[in-house]
Structure 1
Amino acid sequence: MADVDIVAWLLLALHVVLGAVAVAFISARHRPATAIAWMLTIIFIPYIGLLGYLAVGFNRLPRSRREKQRHVNTLIMERTQGLDQPGHREDWPEGLASLVTLNTTLGALPMVGGNAVELLPDYRGSLAAMSAAIDTATDYVHVEFYILVHDEATKPFFDALERACLRGVRVRVLSDHLASVMNPGRKETLDRLAGMGADYRAMLPLRPWRGQWQRIDLRNHRKLLVVDGRVGFTGSQNLVHENYNKKKNIARGLRWHELMICIQGPAVRELDAVFVTDWYSETDVLLDVDTSPVVLDPAPHLVDAQVVPSGPSFDNDNNLKLFVAMIHRANERISITSPYFVPEDSVLLAIVTAAARGVDVELFVSEIGDQAMVYHAQRSYYEALLRAGVKVFLYKAPEVLHSKHFSIDRDMAVIGSSNMDVRSFSLNMEISVLIHSADFVAQMHLVEDGYRENSRQLELADWVARPAREKFRDSAARLTSNLQ
């Protein structure tokens, strides 16, 4: 009996020590809400909680990868004369200059003028536009997508890559390793790339037997294509069929709705710098970067644009700070589109504060979800938003609104791969583009008008009257959102 008592006391002492270490170690490395969630998990389920934290509790990539990011950024900034010249500085609204400085400080890439930017709201249309751009390549094609699959929808894209290889163009391809493993068609896709002679690398590979390992859910979520440094594409769309080739999606009739942009001008160099950094991280090969002087074209129809890379390869949550700062600077209108809306506390506070200031705030999300935990977690925020005066629009099924962008007032917009959620702020490597242009934002408003026409506006009275079991699922899912 005495032995049992000794074991019990030892376990209790270990539990206390474990809790104390968790308080000291975790609280210094995470935001308060995240730290509290992890500490409670470790205290109440100590050993399982500790293993969970060791597996997914560290939200920064190794120092070597962060140093590679800074090295490429320094090359671009120090050796490229004129890359920091905006085209329409005199037209910038109040507050934009400080946003540009913020992004340059955190992400090391400047705001540059002289860019033509085109919206591509059609799924197959954007694939066709990217394929056509590849057919103009004479030097190189850089492809980087979170999900990259050879299928019926993407076949023209892969065919264009093959034609480029046959012309002697160097084709380099990156896709996220875990996303590739989890999506159908991986073997066929890799065989297709190898057969045409493309140079493929997996991003953030999980191969511990090769010494390739990091936190399993730190992923590269970027989507971009660069052709010869002349034309670039980025946005929300993965390179895959609009139903993602998954049986459950096909059975439900789900189709993904996306928004991409095509950029021509100096900002394409910044897109390419992101690719070069990721290639360097995965291969230890630093590609040549274009550092020739930028000759600025100040034509009125050309826009100022700034590429904002973010994620665990940086020491700061670049996109989070940008989004919060932009929302606080809005005076008239904020339109947010995010398929996965699980906002960090500062984002939620900024949004409800803007609504209280009299800003017209609207949020577009999908009526249905493809990821149950995130879907229910985001629903838990709707009541607070509605009570603050935010208009919530549910994009009608069976389409899944997967676009990721928001516009501020009449002349500022952000578009890219980043959701408005904790994962995109801290765990995923993302890419966003800040654009200043009244004409471009007017086009964005037309896209948002289309969303509104195909959505059902959520009413507060109907939402609070939903069944208790739904409220419980939503609230329970929200509790897990801070374990990041």
Structure 2
Amino acid sequence: MDIVWTWDVIRRIIEVLWLINIAFAVWTVFRSRRDIASTWAWLLVLTILPVVGFILYLFVGRQLSHDEIFSIQDEQKQLRTKYLEKQRKLSEEHELMPKGSRLSRDRQLVNLFLSLNDSVVTFNNKVHVFIDGKKKFDKLIDDINHATDHVYIEYYSFYADNLGKRVLAALEDAAARGVKVRVLYDLSGSHGTTFKFFKHLEELGGEAQAFIAAAKAYFQTPRLNYHLHRKLAIIDGKIGYIGGFNIGDQYLGEDPKFGYWRDTHLRVVGQATMMMTVRFAMDWNTTCRKTHKKKIDLEKEFKNFELVAPDGDPDEVPMQIVSSGPDNENYSIRRGYESIISSARKYVYIQSPYLIPEDSVLEALVIAARSGIDVRIMIPCMPDHPFVYRATEYYAKYLVNNGVKVYKYDNGFIHSKTMVSGSNIASVGSANMDYRSFRLNFEVNAFAYNEKLTAQLKKDFENDMKKSTLLTPEYFANQSKWRKFKQYFSRLLSPIL
């Protein structure tokens, strides 16, 4: 019997397909535990874009498997608690921090990270700040060239371009002279870089692997979230690098699209480097479950390690290495940011390439500004991801209208992820001021308590202000209706950007 294709039949078929699509959308979204905003955002996408929405979900919305989360949590349990218990007791007695740094804000932040993240405080750290990629990588390569025991490298992006080849050559030379070299990179973040790039390094005795990917993977299972966004380098357990620079020519300012690349990275000499080693070892060992490479023995690494007590030297920087990621729900870095903002008494200066804060952070910023705190945020003048930048503009407008001073950096692209407040509180690391860094990717920041370092980072911010434009309500009011529409639409998708 032939079917007569009337408009009524076609309409009913569309209705049935639409209902099936909604049923699949509900099942797909609710089968994983999510916050309310993300749940509704995905329901919106899957409902109004029946086929395209599911393709987007395949790449963007898929979560880590329970096995992957368990393996990460299991590796984290390897860190012994003997240092933590001692530090918690000293903190309760107000004896943990140096006498000059025992302010209530310091203690609150230290206690927060001891509780949420098991972040040990180290004291004998000397810190150098890099804001220029060429200087940073020249020094990193020099440190690798002088390594005698081991070099651990962990970067979101390790590109196979000129800078990537320079760093790789230094690592190969180190491996050739007997230094233990390990490289951990994110496969999606390192576009075009595969295991073949590191073949000669491994022939020389070094090791390289892509984070939670198969040993010889060319690409990762479709997923744009849950990536290794950390940027760490550890040399001999004595020198550590932490910050925002990735390994690639664009981070030297050699990409004409972005021009000068403004970022922030710390070079740390001291015991905080061992805490970076712990972070690297956890990520390395987790990946070894897929690649079957040899794990790092943390007890061996810490065999002769003893925490050095503070001696009051103003050049020494008390520091906690704090990490966060989708493997737990402590949201340590985000809550650290919230603590700094909500406890600020005079000012908070923030630099971030993306400004898509969760509601709790957004309200903390508004409350601080409305309470008379000098809140300043610096964002780029150009997009590297269109939807993300339009959402950034939306939130910038909201904050400007609520008393926050937002600056648009005009001297290239600002990728720095910093926060400074008060006389001695600063954070530098990989975490942006956005939902993705707070919940979806693996991040690591250094939280430091030192007057000189805070003053330097504050001065760097103020120097950047001279190359920036202060955004005003008039600036946003004069934008085209089409641009405003893109901002509002991007904002609806902010929980999944």
**2:278 pairs with one of 273, 276, 292:** 273
Structure 2 residue aligned with 1:446: 459
The 8 Å contact of residues 177 and 206 in structure 1, kept in 2 or not, is answered as no
Over 3 Å counting, the alpha-carbon distance change for 1:428 and 1:331 in structure 2 is: same
The 8 Å contact of residues 84 and 120 in structure 2, kept in 1 or not, is answered as no
1:400 aligns with 2:413: yes
Q: Could you list the runs of 5+ residues in structure 2 that have no partner in the other structure? A: 91-95
Residue 172 of structure 1: how far off its partner (Å): 0.5
Structure 2 residue aligned with 1:219: 227
Residue deviations 1:65-110 (CA, integer Å, cap 9, x gap): 4444454454243478967774416623223323223223332222
Aligned residues: 476
1:229 aligns with 2:237: yes
Secondary structure in 2 aligned to 1:75? Answer: coil
Paired AA for residue 118 in structure 2: A
The 8 Å contact of residues 390 and 486 in structure 2, kept in 1 or not, is answered as yes
1:37 aligns with 2:41: yes
Paired AA for residue 219 in structure 1: H
Structure 2 residue aligned with 1:163: 173
Farther-moved stretch of structure 1 (407-416 vs 311-320):
311-320
Farther-moved stretch of structure 1 (253-262 vs 427-436):
253-262
* CA distance in 2: counterparts of 1:96 and 1:76, whole angstroms: 24
The 8 Å contact of residues 158 and 247 in structure 2, kept in 1 or not, is answered as yes
Residue 52 of structure 1: how far off its partner (Å): 4.3
Farther-moved stretch of structure 1 (201-210 vs 122-131):
201-210
Residue 149 of structure 1: how far off its partner (Å): 2.6
Over 3 Å counting, the alpha-carbon distance change for 1:239 and 1:93 in structure 2 is: same
Residue 477 of structure 1: how far off its partner (Å): 2.0
The 8 Å contact of residues 187 and 219 in structure 2, kept in 1 or not, is answered as no
Residue 451 of structure 1: how far off its partner (Å): 0.9
* CA distance in 1: counterparts of 2:343 and 2:84, whole angstroms: 31
Over 3 Å counting, the alpha-carbon distance change for 1:6 and 1:206 in structure 2 is: farther
Residue 411 of structure 1: how far off its partner (Å): 1.1
Normalised by the length of structure 1, the TM-score is 0.88
Paired AA for residue 34 in structure 1: S
Structure 1 residue aligned with 2:156: 146
Structure 1 residue aligned with 2:359: 345
**2:81 pairs with one of 77, 90, 111:** 77
The 8 Å contact of residues 77 and 83 in structure 1, kept in 2 or not, is answered as no
Which runs of structure 2 are paired with 1:105-254 in the superposition (5 Å)?
Answer: 105-180=115-190, 182-183=191-192, 189-191=197-199, 193-194=201-202, 196-205=204-213, 213=221, 215-242=223-250, 249-250=255-256, 252=257, 254=259
Secondary structure in 2 aligned to 1:482? Answer: helix
1:287 aligns with 2:291: no
Over 3 Å counting, the alpha-carbon distance change for 1:299 and 1:192 in structure 2 is: farther
* CA distance in 1: counterparts of 2:194 and 2:20, whole angstroms: 45
Residue 219 of structure 1: how far off its partner (Å): 0.9
The 8 Å contact of residues 195 and 218 in structure 2, kept in 1 or not, is answered as no
Structure 2 residue aligned with 1:381: 395
* CA distance in 1: counterparts of 2:388 and 2:219, whole angstroms: 31
Structure 1 residue aligned with 2:93: none
The 8 Å contact of residues 174 and 203 in structure 1, kept in 2 or not, is answered as yes
1:331 aligns with 2:340: no
* CA distance in 2: counterparts of 1:159 and 1:208, whole angstroms: 21
Structure 2 residue aligned with 1:357: 371
* CA distance in 1: counterparts of 2:407 and 2:51, whole angstroms: 42
Aligned-residue sequence identity (percent) comes to 27
* CA distance in 2: counterparts of 1:63 and 1:266, whole angstroms: 33
Secondary structure in 1 aligned to 2:250? Answer: coil
* CA distance in 1: counterparts of 2:246 and 2:275, whole angstroms: 20
**1:255 pairs with one of 248, 254, 260:** 260
Over 3 Å counting, the alpha-carbon distance change for 1:95 and 1:63 in structure 2 is: farther
* CA distance in 2: counterparts of 1:295 and 1:83, whole angstroms: 12
Structure 2 residue aligned with 1:418: 431
* CA distance in 2: counterparts of 1:209 and 1:295, whole angstroms: 42
Paired AA for residue 385 in structure 2: Q
The 8 Å contact of residues 126 and 269 in structure 2, kept in 1 or not, is answered as yes
Residue 208 of structure 1: how far off its partner (Å): 11
The 8 Å contact of residues 174 and 202 in structure 1, kept in 2 or not, is answered as yes
Over 3 Å counting, the alpha-carbon distance change for 1:154 and 1:47 in structure 2 is: closer
Over 3 Å counting, the alpha-carbon distance change for 1:138 and 1:38 in structure 2 is: same
Residue deviations 1:256-311 (CA, integer Å, cap 9, x gap): 22111011222111101111011101113431223232232424221211111111
Paired AA for residue 129 in structure 1: K
The 8 Å contact of residues 125 and 270 in structure 2, kept in 1 or not, is answered as yes
Residue 476 of structure 1: how far off its partner (Å): 2.1
* CA distance in 2: counterparts of 1:93 and 1:374, whole angstroms: 37
Residue deviations 1:6-43 (CA, integer Å, cap 9, x gap): 867755664565566578x26x8222222221223334
The 8 Å contact of residues 336 and 406 in structure 1, kept in 2 or not, is answered as yes
Farther-moved stretch of structure 1 (381-390 vs 192-201):
192-201
Which runs of structure 2 are paired with 1:61-72 in the superposition (5 Å)?
Answer: 62-72=66-76
Paired AA for residue 147 in structure 2: A
Secondary structure in 2 aligned to 1:121? Answer: strand
**2:440 pairs with one of 424, 427, 441:** 427
Residue deviations 1:328-375 (CA, integer Å, cap 9, x gap): 111111100001111111111111111001000111111112221211
Residue 233 of structure 1: how far off its partner (Å): 0.4
The 8 Å contact of residues 195 and 217 in structure 2, kept in 1 or not, is answered as no
Over 3 Å counting, the alpha-carbon distance change for 1:58 and 1:322 in structure 2 is: farther
* CA distance in 2: counterparts of 1:363 and 1:210, whole angstroms: 38
Over 3 Å counting, the alpha-carbon distance change for 1:77 and 1:128 in structure 2 is: farther
* CA distance in 2: counterparts of 1:9 and 1:135, whole angstroms: 66
The 8 Å contact of residues 87 and 114 in structure 1, kept in 2 or not, is answered as no
Over 3 Å counting, the alpha-carbon distance change for 1:63 and 1:19 in structure 2 is: closer
Over 3 Å counting, the alpha-carbon distance change for 1:22 and 1:124 in structure 2 is: closer
Residue deviations 1:198-236 (CA, integer Å, cap 9, x gap): 211111337999997474422111100001111100100
The 8 Å contact of residues 76 and 273 in structure 1, kept in 2 or not, is answered as no
Paired AA for residue 106 in structure 2: L
Over 3 Å counting, the alpha-carbon distance change for 1:442 and 1:464 in structure 2 is: same
* CA distance in 2: counterparts of 1:282 and 1:187, whole angstroms: 14
1:298 aligns with 2:298: no
Secondary structure in 2 aligned to 1:142? Answer: strand
Farther-moved stretch of structure 1 (364-373 vs 221-230):
364-373
